[in-house]
């Protein structure tokens, strides 16, 4: 028996993160609250180290497989991982003072965040159903615990419980779907499955049966209608800093999961899953945008907005293969990838603003708390305005180009009617984003407490907000990066 | 062509950058600095448009001052600017009106001065971008981006019902433009991956495709013009907007819609334009006649002028869809003239509003006794609004009616009723506000216009009279481009 060590180079970042997450866990035991900044710095340094390792291997253009092809490192994985580090690190900076004020800045937060990040990285690099599933479970379990981090809050505990029950159900669905596909093709490895589907002719009924379960599980993780029920409750119930975490980086991982499962693994079944995605997309855009109008809690409003945005992103995934022809597939998938990235950057700024306005004993959760922000802090009102316009998809913010590329994918796939439906729902969506801007600019403040963010947070939030504008003026590089990443699959 | 300074880029970005500088100047403690920087920015923005006029070659219909650089290569979107005889005048008009608006808001705006001035400057730059863009996506970006400052202007400095008006304005316009976005994407795919507007001019399209695209464009532009029956946002927006906002809205922003018809609908979709011309003419005539009657019934001065704007814009769309040179040039002249006249009318109402804080006609009466200089100016603008010969209003209306006469007598007849209705509502308002005995103690205390207001109104009066007495330079500029456009529209794409 030949026991050779697998090539570890593509997985250096993951291995490093795993070690460091354990180190953080242990080191934190010896620290009291006054020296918690060491854990904080160590966590940020860990993410920087991961970025270093990922950057080190990002030169190779073709995919590298390791661990018996269970793990893949390609351009898409590297790009998404880099953005995940950025999102997680930014989220930590935004969350610090919020967590301190609530007594939640304990070691658990950091180690759970890091383990969740590891889960996301494994998902992003998975080339095997089992790897994917392990990554997903690692992420999910960390998230359940993080939602419940505020132990004494009944709302948070309830949210965590809901999240856990529904999440476990979805994982079950996904696993069941995977077993069906395994039954039909005899393999758990994405690339092999794809090859088998093309050459051999497995039982179509079993495949589609499995596919339905896989898509359902995926839809749950993305949070699209009709598998969206957990999103509003969890977003509202979790502490805002945790909501920020859930709403940002895991969306990148969920996108990667969709790409790995549907495109790497099941692309020969595109005709079947595209129809499902179209249905999910239209329902999500409809329900997300309509329900968001009725919300008075900004976290809940952003939760419905997420549902609508993920629906919009699915439009891109659903427009890749036209009549069995995948010439323009890379365009469509890179549009979806661009959309996910833009959504993550934008919602970082959005939830960052929620954290900015919250202070000890006060959660800036009601949209009325944003009244007259322009008079309290013109600069941060401007940043939040850019965020809202980006979510609404208005030029010159980057949100517009995200919408543009997905719509272009839909139109070039000949689905003009779908594009029309999408723009009509985004018109409805514009209403509730505009309402936030209305409150900030047109109304007088009810809350006059001074806004005094820490320096690191204000700098980072400013950079984040301005990035929405700058990427809107210069979207070419990021778009091209997504295209290259998808091409390399 | 010798190397030129990038005048078009400067016309767009000088106001935008000046606006950002003003915005950065901060709070109301530095209000004076904000005003001065804004004025310098606006004047600089106007100065860089002079070479556009001076070096303009009137003998060609080709695009001039062209700049073409790749912007988003991923979608083949270019930073492609250029002007022809149709668009150049609007850039001038826009830059001119911006200077006036900055001066008009000088003392009147007391809260958040920097943000106010910045909004107008940025809006001015963006609107220049709309007129100069030759890339459909660039056009769209500018077209949509103008909504943001206008939304803020109406919502922050507007009247009591400003929130309703601002949201209505925004959503109405967004509805139209989002469908236009889908139309652009369709054309992009049809043309094999190009967003160049000039490429679309020669793109063959089936009748069904043309009709659907026409409807998408129609929604975008009709809302902006605005045409009956999607005009209802305009009176609300005008009434609630601050004076400067109303002036820019009427003078420039409405022209974006009309401009869209000539830049997109007519040359790209000639067959659909011909097939649907009856429909367009009907809508235009309803605007001219019905909205003219509605204007007669208004008791709020701003609302009256708003309805009068819709009626005048009906003339513009009528001129486009009768497909002859008189109609088309008349419509363009009417657009420019309406830019001056409506800005002047709104600024005049602003002058009165600043003193009395009322727009109701019934609150006034006998203003001539206390404000004689103002009454004289308003007289001139009122005359121009009803199209009296020797004012700019006459030239455009007369040309459109002539064009319509060639097309069909009855259309011309109905259009000509505007001369009666227009005179009726404008002069009746003038009589009730200006003439008669002094109506109440507030009117008795009115002070006549100060030097700043005199300057604004005098500049506009010169423009109105100049264009009325000697319109040749204006028509000469647009002649070649209009003929080319008409030739293009006459050729079927089927």
Tell me: the pLDDT tens digits for B431-456?
888 887 777 888 788 888 888 888 88
What 3-state DSSP class applies to A203? coil
Query: Taking CB atoms and an 8 Å limit, are B73 and A476 in contact across chains?
Result: yes
Query: Taking CB atoms and an 8 Å limit, are A423 and B148 in contact across chains?
Result: no
Looking at the complex, does the CB of residue A35 fall below 8 Å from at least one CB of chain B?
no
Looking at the complex, does the CB of residue B155 fall below 8 Å from at least one CB of chain A?
yes
pLDDT at position B2 is 47
Q: Which residue has the higher pLDDT, B154 or A136?
A: A136
The minimum CA-CA distance between B171 and chain A, rounded to whole Å, is: 7
Q: Which B-chain residues 20-79 have CB contacts (< 8 A) with chain A?
A: 27, 71-75
Residue A468 predicted with pLDDT over 80: yes
Query: Taking CB atoms and an 8 Å limit, are A423 and B140 in contact across chains?
Result: no
Q: B103 and B120 in contact (C-beta within 8 Å)?
A: no
Half-sphere exposure of B482 (CA within 13 A, CB side): 20
Query: Taking CB atoms and an 8 Å limit, are A434 and B188 in contact across chains?
Result: no
Residue A1 predicted with pLDDT over 80: no
CA distance A416 to A438: 33
pLDDT at position A448 is 77
The minimum CA-CA distance between A121 and chain B, rounded to whole Å, is: 28
Q: Scanning every residue of chain A, which has its alpha carbon at the shortest distance from the alpha carbon of B162?
A: A442
Residue whose tokens read 């002036």: B247
Across B407-433, average pLDDT: 87
Query: Each residue of B202-253: pLDDT tens digit?
Result: 888 888 888 999 999 998 898 888 888 888 888 888 888 888 888 888 888 8
Chain A residues lying within 8 Å of B142, measured CB to CB: 395
Residue ranges covered by each domain of chain A: 9-487
CA distance B95 to B51: 13
pLDDT at position A339 is 94
DSSP letters spanning A181-196? HHHHHS--BHHHHHHH
Query: Each residue of B174-208: pLDDT tens digit?
Result: 888 888 999 999 999 888 888 888 888 888 888 88
Chain A residues lying within 8 Å of B115, measured CB to CB: 374, 378
Chain A residues lying within 8 Å of B171, measured CB to CB: 427, 430-431, 434
Query: Each residue of B69-103: pLDDT tens digit?
Result: 888 888 888 898 888 888 888 998 899 989 988 88
pLDDT at position B420 is 85
The minimum CA-CA distance between B131 and chain A, rounded to whole Å, is: 17
ipTM: 0.88
Query: Taking CB atoms and an 8 Å limit, are A395 and B141 in contact across chains?
Result: yes
Query: Taking CB atoms and an 8 Å limit, are B74 and A427 in contact across chains?
Result: no
User: Quick one: tokens of B448?
Assistant: 């006549």
Worst-scoring range by mean pLDDT, A19-28, A218-227, B4-13, B279-288?
B4-13
Q: Scanning every residue of chain B, which has its alpha carbon at the shortest distance from the alpha carbon of A469?
A: B145
Looking at the complex, does the CB of residue B439 fall below 8 Å from at least one CB of chain A?
no
Chain A residues lying within 8 Å of B181, measured CB to CB: 404, 407, 423
Query: Each residue of A164-199: pLDDT tens digit?
Result: 999 999 999 999 999 999 988 888 998 889 888 888
Alpha helices in A201-248 (DSSP H): 204-222, 230-237, 240-247
What 3-state DSSP class applies to B308? helix
Query: Taking CB atoms and an 8 Å limit, are A475 and B178 in contact across chains?
Result: no
Chain A residues lying within 8 Å of B145, measured CB to CB: 394-396
Residue in B76, B182, B216 to test binding to A, most A beta-carbons within 10 Å: B182
Nearest neighbour of A438 by CB, restricted to B147, B167, B182 = B167
**Residue-averaged pLDDT of chain B:** 86
| pLDDT band per the 50, 70, 90 thresholds, residue A202 | confident
Worst-scoring range by mean pLDDT, A138-147, B4-13, B335-344?
B4-13
CA distance A266 to A488: 17
Across A399-412, average pLDDT: 91
Q: Which B-chain residues 74-133 have CB contacts (< 8 A) with chain A?
A: 74-75, 112, 115
Residue in A388, A411, A419, A444 to test binding to B, most B beta-carbons within 10 Å: A411
B463 CB-near residues (< 8 Å, 6+ apart): B96, B340, B392
CA distance A270 to A325: 10
Q: Which A-chain residues 388-407 have CB contacts (< 8 A) with chain B?
A: 389, 394-396, 400-401, 404-405, 407
Query: Taking CB atoms and an 8 Å limit, are B151 and A434 in contact across chains?
Result: yes
**Residue-averaged pLDDT of chain A:** 89
Residue in B185, B240, B245 to test binding to A, most A beta-carbons within 10 Å: B185
B196 φ/ψ angles, rounded to the nearest 5 degrees = -70, 125
Query: Taking CB atoms and an 8 Å limit, are A411 and B189 in contact across chains?
Result: yes
pLDDT at position A84 is 95
CA distance B44 to B47: 5
Residue A3 predicted with pLDDT over 80: no
Across A425-433, average pLDDT: 90
Alpha helices in A393-454 (DSSP H): 398-412, 416-442
Query: Taking CB atoms and an 8 Å limit, are B145 and A475 in contact across chains?
Result: no
| pLDDT band per the 50, 70, 90 thresholds, residue B156 | confident
Query: Taking CB atoms and an 8 Å limit, are A404 and B137 in contact across chains?
Result: yes
Give one word for B390, left, alpha or beta, with left for phi > 0 and alpha for psi -120 to 50: left
Nearest neighbour of B74 by CB, restricted to A434, A441, A479 = A479
Residue in A285, A441, A474 to test binding to B, most B beta-carbons within 10 Å: A441
Q: B344 and B457 in contact (C-beta within 8 Å)?
A: yes
Chain A residues lying within 8 Å of B174, measured CB to CB: 394, 427, 430
Query: Taking CB atoms and an 8 Å limit, are A430 and B171 in contact across chains?
Result: yes
pLDDT at position B1 is 45
* Dihedral over alpha carbons A45, A47, A49, A54 (to 10 degrees): -170
Burial A449-484 (b: 16+ CB within 10 A, else e): eebebeeebbebbbebbebbbebbeebbebbebbbe
Query: Taking CB atoms and an 8 Å limit, are A430 and B170 in contact across chains?
Result: yes
| pLDDT band per the 50, 70, 90 thresholds, residue A90 | very high
Query: Taking CB atoms and an 8 Å limit, are A394 and B148 in contact across chains?
Result: yes
Residue whose tokens read 């009591």: B160
Looking at the complex, does the CB of residue B188 fall below 8 Å from at least one CB of chain A?
yes
pLDDT at position B474 is 83
């Amino acid at each position: 028996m030949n026991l050779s060590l697998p090539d570890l180079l593509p997985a250096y970042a993951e291995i490093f993160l795993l070690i460091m997450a354990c180190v953080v866990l242990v080191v934190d035991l010896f620290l009291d609250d006054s020296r918690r900044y060491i854990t904080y710095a160590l966590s940020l340094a860990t993410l920087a180290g991961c970025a270093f390792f990922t950057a080190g291997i990002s030169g190779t253009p073709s995919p590298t497989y390791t661990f018996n092809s269970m793990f893949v490192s390609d351009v898409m994985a590297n790009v998404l991982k880099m953005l995940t580090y950025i999102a997680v690190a930014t989220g930590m900076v935004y969350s610090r003072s919020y967590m301190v004020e609530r007594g939640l800045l304990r070691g658990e937060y950091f180690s759970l965040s890091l383990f969740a990040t590891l889960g996301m990285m494994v998902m992003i690099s998975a080339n095997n159903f089992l790897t994917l599933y392990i990554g997903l479970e690692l992420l999910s379990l960390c998230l359940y615990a993080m939602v419940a981090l505020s132990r004494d809050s009944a709302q948070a505990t309830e949210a965590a419980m809901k999240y856990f029950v529904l999440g476990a159900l979805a994982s079950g669905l996904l696993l069941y779907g995977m077993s069906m596909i395994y039954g039909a093709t005899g393999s758990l490895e994405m690339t092999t499955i794809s090859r088998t589907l093309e050459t051999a002719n497995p039982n179509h009924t079993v495949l589609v049966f499995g596919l339905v379960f896989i898509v359902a599980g995926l839809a749950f993780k993305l949070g699209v209608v009709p598998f969206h029920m957990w999103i509003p409750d969890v977003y509202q119930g979790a502490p805002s800093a945790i909501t920020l975490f859930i709403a940002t980086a895991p969306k990148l991982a969920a996108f990667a999961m969709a790409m790995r499962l549907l495109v790497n693994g099941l692309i020969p079944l595109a005709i079947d899953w595209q129809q499902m995605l179209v249905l999910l997309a239209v329902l999500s855009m409809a329900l997300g945008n309509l329900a968001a109008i009725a919300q008075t809690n900004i976290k809940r409003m952003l939760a419905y907005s997420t549902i609508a945005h993920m629906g919009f992103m699915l439009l891109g995934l659903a427009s890749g293969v036209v009549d069995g022809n995948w010439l323009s597939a890379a365009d469509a998938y890179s549009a979806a990838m661009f959309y996910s990235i833009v959504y993550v950057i934008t919602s970082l700024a959005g939830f960052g603003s929620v954290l900015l306005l919250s202070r000890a004993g006060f959660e800036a959760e009601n949209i009325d708390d944003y009244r007259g922000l322009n008079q309290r802090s013109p600069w941060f009102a401007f940043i939040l305005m850019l965020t809202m316009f980006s979510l609404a998809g208005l030029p010159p913010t980057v949100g517009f180009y995200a919408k543009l590329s997905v719509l272009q994918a839909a139109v070039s796939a000949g689905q003009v009617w779908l594009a029309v439906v999408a723009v009509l729902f985004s018109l409805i969506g514009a209403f509730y984003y505009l309402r936030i801007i209305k409150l900030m600019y047109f109304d007088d403040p009810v809350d006059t407490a001074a806004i005094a963010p820490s320096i690191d947070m204000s700098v980072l939030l400013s950079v984040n907000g301005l990035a929405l504008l700058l990427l809107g003026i210069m979207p070419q590089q990021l778009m091209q990066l997504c295209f290259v990443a998808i091409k390399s699959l | 062509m010798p190397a030129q300074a990038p005048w078009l880029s400067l016309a767009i970005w000088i106001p935008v950058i000046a606006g950002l500088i003003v915005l950065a100047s901060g709070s109301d403690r530095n209000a004076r600095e904000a005003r001065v920087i804004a004025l310098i920015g606006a004047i600089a923005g106007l100065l860089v448009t002079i070479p556009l006029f001076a070096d303009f070659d009137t003998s060609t219909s080709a695009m001039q001052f062209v700049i073409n650089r790749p912007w988003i290569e991923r979608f083949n979107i270019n930073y492609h600017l250029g002007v022809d005889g149709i668009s150049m005048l609007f850039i001038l008009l826009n830059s001119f009106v911006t200077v006036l608006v900055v001066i008009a808001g000088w003392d009147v705006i007391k809260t958040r001065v920097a943000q106010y001035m910045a909004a107008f400057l940025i809006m001015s730059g963006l609107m220049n971008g709309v007129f100069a863009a030759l890339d459909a996506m660039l056009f769209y970006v500018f077209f949509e981006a103008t909504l943001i400052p206008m939304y803020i202007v109406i919502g922050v400095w507007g009247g009591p019902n400003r929130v309703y008006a601002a949201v209505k304005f925004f959503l109405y316009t967004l509805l139209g433009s989002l469908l236009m976005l889908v139309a652009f994407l369709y054309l992009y795919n049809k043309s094999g991956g190009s967003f160049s507007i000039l490429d679309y001019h020669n793109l063959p399209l089936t009748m069904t495709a043309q009709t659907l695209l026409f409807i998408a464009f129609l929604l975008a532009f009709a809302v902006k013009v605005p045409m009956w029956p999607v005009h209802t946002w305009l009176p609300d927006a005008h009434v609630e907007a601050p004076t400067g906002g109303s002036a820019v809205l009427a003078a420039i922003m409405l022209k974006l819609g009309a401009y869209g018809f000539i830049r997109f609908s007519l040359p790209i979709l000639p067959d659909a334009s011909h097939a649907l011309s009856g429909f367009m003419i009907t809508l235009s005539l309803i605007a001219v006649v019905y909205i003219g009657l509605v204007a007669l019934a208004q008791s709020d001065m701003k609302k009256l002028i708003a309805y009068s704007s819709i009626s005048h814009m009906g003339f513009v769309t009528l001129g486009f869809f009768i497909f002859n040179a008189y109609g088309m040039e008349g419509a363009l002249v009417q657009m420019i003239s309406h830019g001056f006249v409506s800005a002047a009318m709104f600024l005049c109402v602003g002058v009165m509003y600043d003193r009395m804080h009322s727009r109701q006609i019934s609150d006034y009466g006998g203003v001539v006794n206390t404000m004689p200089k103002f009454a004289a100016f308003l007289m001139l603008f009122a005359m121009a609004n009803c199209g009296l010969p020797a004012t700019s209003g006459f030239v455009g209306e007369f040309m459109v009616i002539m064009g319509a006469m060639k097309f069909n007598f009855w259309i011309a007849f109905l259009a000509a009723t505007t001369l009666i209705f227009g005179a009726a509502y404008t002069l009746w308002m003038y009589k009730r506000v200006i003439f008669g005995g002094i109506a109440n103690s507030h009117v008795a205390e009115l002070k006549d216009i100060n030097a700043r207001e005199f300057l604004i109104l005098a500049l506009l009066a010169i423009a109105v009279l100049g264009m009325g007495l000697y319109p040749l330079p204006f028509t000469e500029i647009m002649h070649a481009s209009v003929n080319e456009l008409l030739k293009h529209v006459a050729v079927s794409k089927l």
